[in-house]
């Protein structure tokens, strides 16, 4: 084997050239890979001794895409489109040999080859849409020529990874070869092409799969309509659709030019920058500077959960889903029975939707043991407490657990706001105590805030992160402070939403502004959904806030068909005259002069204090990096990923502007708006949150 450059090799095996890419970790199309491919193909194209060429990769995967880290930098090295033009134009058969994931630009390389073979475990896809992009190396033009318009639209706008067998069935892969025998299989396939005198299959020349859509352009309008909700706010899905329209209606080369133009537009936009940032943020969040990656972890083969309510049950499902047995503890038999029945019902509903077999339901339920005895947790590796939010109750429970749990067991609290250090002090082993703040519904929501106490050991932190990964969560390590990262920032938004409501904006105005910003719902709709009576009691209600007033009227949210909105039987919300009246009454009682409030102010008042609070969180070291805060907001609170998270958004708006507004608000309304020192410092230095760590 001869090295073409540091990442590409070339060898010849009886008339078949094998071009091998070896550029860890994922063989992304860096300058070196593109240069290597260009040079390797230059050597073999037109060489009459070479009858076929196999393109294969070393390591864990086929080319997993363009080098995302290189985006936005001045173009360097060989032009990928030119390399692919040469590959497709080759006079010898070119076969892509796929293992791992052929994604984005990597899959586009494979589509430019004449044939594709893959091992059964391989996956292919065009995930560019998830980076706010579209396939920019011919994928939008070649994919529909193979799989037709409907499937291409699905694949490109979802970014899904499609398994090799499904790829084979739809013609994206021409042959499946034995696992671990890819090289031999691909060479044998290439030889069979030569022996059978098979034609050079150039995808650019295919047309039969496009004809149907050419005669029925309505297919695009229907697709847009069917997915309008899913695509709301995003630029990239429609850009992808427009490229498929071009594939149908324009000659190949014109379609390619159209694809390039739209790709460049997306690449220059803030949405793609935000989504690419989120890609790297989602990887960085797992890295903890003072907890090395090789930290020895603890077992988590047996999990105990205390509390069979909505939260405890949801947490239990996470573990049952991945085959970890759970012991669920309650204080009363009826509560335990209800909790277990809810878990069963959730699984059965999933089975009804066809996403689980009944055998799976039984298998999961068989791993769940209910008990009224805390002593049953003596053998648990991890105990997660999910009882109600009362410090005295939690401390008493942790003191008992300390006496029962085996040495080294992780003792976790699911508190969403209480002081984890204080809870840890109720035990003789604060190093084993950690917060695992699941979000409701815990079996659905992806975010997990892992709350590190002052004394939590590295092993407990590392194990908690590993456990989070195993149960499919996105975990962010945060420090102890009221509300941790997510709820602490949310409190800023909620406070302002309430204030704006009394000052003159209606709940529906505020909800509309935040919905249009990209949240799945605004703060009032969210409160109605969650229930307004969480932590509220009639006995202690003082009638001083809207929430209290609403609860006193039994308007407790969607569950009572009334909250900030009125709800009909289908849970459709309409503004409420009663609420309007209550707002006026409360505003008058507080001496607030109402005024018309512009949308811009609603947005700035709701969002900038969150950014400011995020800066305080960073200043206090309660989050490791600004991007971790963004990951919390994207995964736990519906922050639109195309705006990158609150800290990224602050950078986009400009920290000087955020600071000026905070100062203006502080002058008008006081200390709630006092700018964070970090915000002042960064703005003064012309820096951004993104460059902090
Ligand atoms: C594209 O192709 C556009 C074209 O159409 C345009 C042509 C003109 N670039 O995820 P992991 C890094 S857009 C740079 O932890 P896994 C990643 O940051 C691209 N770096 O591993 C991490 O680094 P670190 C379309 C990349 O096994 C390390 O590799 N392609 C890239 O869980 C390991 O990654 C995609 O969108 C990249 N393309 O998952 C695919 N990919 O260790 C994006 C990964 O320093 N990639 N890195 O943190 C993935 O989906 C997953 O990484 C993959 C492996 C499934 C491949």
Q: Mapped to the 3 state alphabet, what secondary structure does 590-607 carry?
A: CCCCCCCCCHHHHHHHHH
Phi-psi category of residue 470: left, alpha or beta, with phi > 0 → left and psi -120 to 50 → alpha: alpha
117 and 222, same domain (yes or no):
yes
The whole-number pLDDT of residue 74 equals 86
Q: What angle do CA 399, 402, 405 make, to 5 degrees?
A: 140
**Cis preceding-peptide flag for 486 (omega within 30 of 0):** no
How far apart CA 91 and CA 240 sit, in angstroms, is: 31
pLDDT at 546: 95
* Residues 456 and 527 both lie in one domain: no
User: Does the C-beta of 67 come closer than 6 Å to ligand 1?
Assistant: yes
Say what the pLDDT of residue 419 is. 96
Q: Do 192 and 76 share a structural domain?
A: yes
Cα-Cα-Cα-Cα dihedral sign, residues 465, 466, 470, 474: positive
pLDDT over 90 for what percent of the chain?
95
C-beta 108 within 6 A of ligand 1: yes
Q: Which residues of 108-136 are buried (b: 16+ CB within 10 A; e: fewer)?
A: bbbbbbbbbbbbeebbbbbbbbbbbbbbb
Strand partners, 223: none
Region of residue 56 (left: phi > 0; alpha: psi -120 to 50; beta: else):
beta
Task: Mark whether 189 and 98 lie in a shared domain.
Answer: yes
Residue 338, domain member (yes or no): yes
Mean pLDDT over the full length of the chain: 96
For 463, the 3-state DSSP assignment is helix
Is the separation of the CB atoms in 238 and 263 below 8 Å? Answer: no
Is 392 domain-assigned? Answer: yes
175-233 residue pLDDT tens: 999 999 999 999 999 999 999 999 999 999 999 999 999 989 899 999 999 999 999 99
pLDDT tens column, 425-452: 999 999 999 999 999 899 999 999 999 9
| Residue among 467, 459, 452, 435 nearest 297 (CA) | 459
C-alpha distances in Å from residue 632, one per residue of 362, 456, 609, 626: 34, 21, 17, 10
Q: Which CATH number belongs to the domain containing residue 682 in this structure?
A: 1.10.1040.50
Nearest alpha carbon, ligand 1 atom 56: 64
110 found inside a domain: yes
How many Å lie between the centroid of ligand 1 and the Cα of residue 103?
A: 9
pLDDT at 256: 98
Asked if residue 46 has pLDDT above 90, the reply is no
Integer Cα distance of 523 and 337 in angstroms: 34
Provide the annotated active-site residues.
108, 128
Domain span holding position 135: 2-268
Whichever domain contains 448, its CATH number is 3.40.50.720
Same domain, 319 and 204: no
CA–CA distance, 513 with 229 (Å, rounded to integer): 17
> Alpha helix (H) ranges present in 367-485?
391-404, 420-424, 458-470
For residue 287, being part of any structural domain is answered with no
Regarding whether 140 and 103 lie in a shared domain, the answer is: yes
DSSP for 242-305, written as a single string:
HHHHHHHHS-HHHHHHHHHHHHHHHHHSHHHHHHHHHHHHHHHTT-BTTB-TT------SSEEE
Question: Hey, is 86 helix, strand or coil?
Answer: helix
Strand partners, 382: 303, 410
Q: Are residues 105 and 22 in the same domain?
A: yes
- pLDDT over 90 (residue 692): no
Domain count along the chain: 4
Rounded to 5 degrees, what are φ and ψ at 566?
A: -95, 145
Helix (H, G, I), strand (E, B) or coil at 442: coil
291 within a domain of the structure (yes/no): no
Q: Is the CB of 127 under 6 A from ligand 1?
A: yes
- Which of 589, 615, 639 is a domain's end point? 589
Instruction: Single out the residue of 109, 162, 167 nearest to residue 138, CA to CA.
Output: 109
Task: Pick the residue whose CA is nearest to atom 16 on ligand 1.
Answer: 26
**Does 551 have pLDDT greater than 90?**
yes
Strands in 115-118's sheet, in edge-to-edge order, are 2-3, 8-13, 16-21, 52-57, 93-98, 115-118, 175-176
In a domain, 489, yes or no: no
Q: Which residue lies with its CA nearest to atom 18 of ligand 1?
A: 280
Of 147, 87, 76, which is closest to residue 114 (Cα–Cα)?
87
Ligand 1 contacts CB of residue 686 (under 6 A): no
| Distance in angstroms (rounded) separating the CA atoms of residues 44 and 41 | 5
* 42 and 156 housed in the same domain: yes
Confidence tier at 388 by pLDDT (50, 70, 90): confident
Measure 140 CA to ligand 1 centroid, in angstroms. 20
Ligand 1 lined by 614 (C-beta under 6 Å): no
pLDDT for 693 equals: 52
Cα distances from 322 to residues 282, 329, 364, 369, 382, in angstroms, run: 22, 20, 9, 16, 15
Mind listing the pLDDT tens digit for each residue in 600-622? 999 999 999 999 999 999 999 99
For residue range 116-125, what is the model confidence (pLDDT) as tens digits?
A: 999 999 999 9
pLDDT at 399 over 60: yes
């Amino acid at each position: 084997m001869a090295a073409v450059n540091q990442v590409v090799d070339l060898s010849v095996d009886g008339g078949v050239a094998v071009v091998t890419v070896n550029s860890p970790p994922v063989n992304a199309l860096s300058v070196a890979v593109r240069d290597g491919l260009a040079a390797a193909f230059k050597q073999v194209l037109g060489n009459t001794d070479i009858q076929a060429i196999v393109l294969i990769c070393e390591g864990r995967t086929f080319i997993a895409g363009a080098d995302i880290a290189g985006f936005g930098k001045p173009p360097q090295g060989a032009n990928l489109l030119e390399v692919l033009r040469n590959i497709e134009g080759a006079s010898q058969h070119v076969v892509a040999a796929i293992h791992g994931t052929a994604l984005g630009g990597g899959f586009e390389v494979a589509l430019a080859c004449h044939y594709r073979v893959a091992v059964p475990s391989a996956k292919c896809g065009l995930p560019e849409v998830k980076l706010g992009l579209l396939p920019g190396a011919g994928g939008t033009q070649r994919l529909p020529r193979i799989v037709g318009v409907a499937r291409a639209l699905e694949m490109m706008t979802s970014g899904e990874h499609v398994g090799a067998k499904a790829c084979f069935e739809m013609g994206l892969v021409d042959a499946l070869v034995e696992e671990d025998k890819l090289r031999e299989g691909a060479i044998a396939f290439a030889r069979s092409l030569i022996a059978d005198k098979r034609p050079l299959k150039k995808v650019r020349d295919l047309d039969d799969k496009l004809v149907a859509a050419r005669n029925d352009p309505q297919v695009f309008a229907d697709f847009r309509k069917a997915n309008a909700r899913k695509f709301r706010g995003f630029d990239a899905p429609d850009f992808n659709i427009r490229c498929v329209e071009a594939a149908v209606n324009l000659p190949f080369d014109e379609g390619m030019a159209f694809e390039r133009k739209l790709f460049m537009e997306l690449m220059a936009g803030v949405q793609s920058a935000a989504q690419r940032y989120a890609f790297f943020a989602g990887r960085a969040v797992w890295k903890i500077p003072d907890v090395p990656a090789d930290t020895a972890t603890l077992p988590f083969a047996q999990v105990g959960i205390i509390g069979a309510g909505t939260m405890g049950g949801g947490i239990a499902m996470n573990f049952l889903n991945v085959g970890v047995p759970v012991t669920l503890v309650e204080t009363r038999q009826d509560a335990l029975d209800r909790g277990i029945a809810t878990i069963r019902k959730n699984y059965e509903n999933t089975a009804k939707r066809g996403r689980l077999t009944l055998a799976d339901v039984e298998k999961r339920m068989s791993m769940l043991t209910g008990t009224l005895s805390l002593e049953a947790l003596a053998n648990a590796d991890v105990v997660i407490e999910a009882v109600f939010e009362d410090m005295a109750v939690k401390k008493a429970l942790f003191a008992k657990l300390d006496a029962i749990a085996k040495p080294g067991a992780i003792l976790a609290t699911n508190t969403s706001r209480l002081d984890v250090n204080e809870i840890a002090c109720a035990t003789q082993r604060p190093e084993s105590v950690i917060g695992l703040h699941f979000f409701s519904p815990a079996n659905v929501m992806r975010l997990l805030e892992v709350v590190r106490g002052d004394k939590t050991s590295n092993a407990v932190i590392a194990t908690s992160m590993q456990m989070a990964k195993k149960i499919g969560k996105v975990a962010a390590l945060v420090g102890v402070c009221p509300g941790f990262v997510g709820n602490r920032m949310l409190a800023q938004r909620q406070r302002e939403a309430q204030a704006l409501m009394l000052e003159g904006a209606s709940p529906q105005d505020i909800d509309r502004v935040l919905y249009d910003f990209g949240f799945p719902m605004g703060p009032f709709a969210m409160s109605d959904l969650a229930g307004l009576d969480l932590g509220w009691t009639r006995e202690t209600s003082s009638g001083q806030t809207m929430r209290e007033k609403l609860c006193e009227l039994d308007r407790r949210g969607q569950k009572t068909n009334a909250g900030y909105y009125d709800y009909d039987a289908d849970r459709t919300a309409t503004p409420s005259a009663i609420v309007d009246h209550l707002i006026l009454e409360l505003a008058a009682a507080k001496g607030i002069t109402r005024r018309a409030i512009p949308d811009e102010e609603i947005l700035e008042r709701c969002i900038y204090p969150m950014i400011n609070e995020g800066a305080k969180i960073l200043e206090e070291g309660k989050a490791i990096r600004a991007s971790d805060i963004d990951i919390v907001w994207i995964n736990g609170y519906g922050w639109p990923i195309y705006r990158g998270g609150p800290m990224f958004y602050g950078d986009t708006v400009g920290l000087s502007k955020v600071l000026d507004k905070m100062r203006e608000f502080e002058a008008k309304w006081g200390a709630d708006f006092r700018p964070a020192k970090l915000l002042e410092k960064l703005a003064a230095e012309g820096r951004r949150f993104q460059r902090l760590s």
